[in-house]
Structure 1
Amino acid sequence: MSHLYIQKEHTIFRSALRKFLDKEAYPYYEQWEEDRMIPRSFWRKLGDNGFLCPEVDDQYGGSGVDFGFSVIINEELERVGSGLVGISLHNDIVIPYIIAYGTDEQKRRWLPKSATGEIITAIAMTEPGTGSDLANIRTTARREGDHYVINGQKTFITNGIHGDLVIVACKTDPDAVPKHKGISLIVVERDAQGFSRGRKLHKAGLHCQDTAELIFEDCIVPKENLLGQEGKGFQYLMEKLQQERLIVALAAQVSSETMLNQTIQYIKQREAFGKAISKFQNTQFKIAEMATEVEMGRTFIDQLIVDHMNGKDIVTKVSMAKWKLTEVARNIATECMQLHGGYGYMEEYEIARRYRDIPVASIYAGTNEIMKTIIAKNLGL
């Protein structure tokens, strides 16, 4: 399939990445799933080979290339397994905050080691009582002299265990009206006094991706770790959620493509009643339906990627993509497992893992219900 944003250098890059993943990821992925953790050594190998932080300028240790390279990294990681989502979050969700809102001093301090894999990043928005309603977060950051004192708790944090650098959404002005104007982003480093990890959370899927609770008890952070301006945190989050949702939609699309291709291969080999199950009309209709959904999804996401790279406002369409493509992926996972029969429920077949991993895509980066609310609002309803 030809993508609108792909040039010759992207193709060469994809080939190199695939060779790397064939050697360093595919053979070990199932063990990582059993261990429920991706080793830090893999992050370092990614960094050593130039597969982390591609958009970071070369003066800060990155490659300074266009978003198309990030797309390729996301696609190829998703083909290995959805549990590698933490790398995508590091590259294309957290690091862009530092690129866009960080001072030159902050960039020099954090970006080079992020590009090598020495620093693993996370972003902490969700709290035990607050998910999509970010304006009502309760974590506070009180300014005292030359530092902030942070108190609160975050949960469902991707890279929560490995994270060395966490962008924390907190209230620097709890009395602000409207509430969202009191939110700021503060970067908390691993060794910060008063910062600790809670439970490593055990999830229904994405087993190798570490997810954790984070606890801040009179956590002391230098005032220089404020990202951007006080009170602008909610605005920054809204600006960057467009790319985050695009990444989630892209991963869902690739997962759908992968599940469909694997199932087509399986039904051609599996026999029932003396012939391959691919010869049954019901099977053919199911595959035809899924193939059509996948083709339409790829066309839509490719155009969105181009629009995003050209700086266009795609908030409405990316909300559509995030909702629709994650929903399609969930349906395809169910249909493909059914077409695998009893074997589809066995761990030795990848469809079982995909079936577990895909449902959360309709929850994180804003639930699909929130996506529909955004769409409706932007349509003037």
Structure 2
Amino acid sequence: MELNLDSEVLKAYGYTKENIKISQIGAGLINRTYLLSPISEDKKYILQNINTSVFKNPQSIANNLKAISDYLSKTYPDYLFIKPVSAVNGAEMAFIDNEYWRMLPFVPNATSLDVLSNEKQAFEAAKQFGKLSRLLNNFDASTLEPTIPGFHDLGLRFEQFSSALSATSNELKRLAKPQIDDALEHKYILDYFKSYSHRVDFPNRVMHHDTKISNVLLNSKTFEGVCVIDLDTIMPGKFISDLGDMMRTYICAFSENETDLSKVKIRLSYFEATIKGYLSEMKGILTDTEKELLLFSGKYMIYMQALRFLIDFLNGNKYYPTIYSTQNLDRAKNQFKLLQEITLNDKELQDIIEENL
């Protein structure tokens, strides 16, 4: 799809509508994304408009990426870290008509997937996310700025759930009663996390925070891992954020939009591939406490996402896009079913972890 951009945005990066081809790409819900193909250059670029309703302080993204890029270029110069291309004025972003834009190099011969189709893809993706964390093991995570404060704070999400529950209508409470009961019943996950949270060997690390399969590039032919992308949410966090989100999104063949709950099952081979890929990079640096919590990370992230869908339903569907009124409730049902499945398979999943530690 050919389309035009504000000429001032192109000008900020040294281009005009006459010397570049523009097409919109991706189906992301957060940032608008374009592919730029300069007519006189043998390279392409990704141009993104940053959604400031989600990322309130875009400069924090730029600061984080610059700090990490500077560190990696000195310590691991061969690692492919997709850092933004500077604008003509030297800034990491362009600010045009109250909107923030950034340009990134396009990686050739690489692809991103929307859906996993085999275990090798799960292994390679998990390995890439683990590799980034390993390379940043000695980077001071406290120097990074939270780009979405409280993003994976389960305590905050439970407070939001309690507030939504007290403010919602009796009708929505009635519709969601089984899921409200599930949310209260599984509060032990939050309490369990709190019992570990102050251990000295449970560090904050540099985490990606959004490890779905579409956020890693794989070689177009071999499907071997190339690099991690979509780095807006890189910030300090527990390892749970990355591994847990991989478990949540890799181990079931169906997404949170599946309403036939009989299909929400754990694929043991995909779980094993994910664990093997992640631990191939992280096993040597994980602490004893982190190793204790490997399987728990999946429960934490699945429970948190179930809460977030339930919160949005009780609040009147204000955050997640929906196509029917009870979709967020159905998504919460889906995630509570996945949480049930991971609990039912607890011993077998833990055995797989132990075999790979």
Give TM-score, length-normalised by structure 1.
Answer: 0.31
> Quick check: which one's helix share is greater?
1
Q: Which structure has the higher relative contact order (CA within 8 Å, separation 6+)?
A: 2
TM-score (norm 2): 0.33
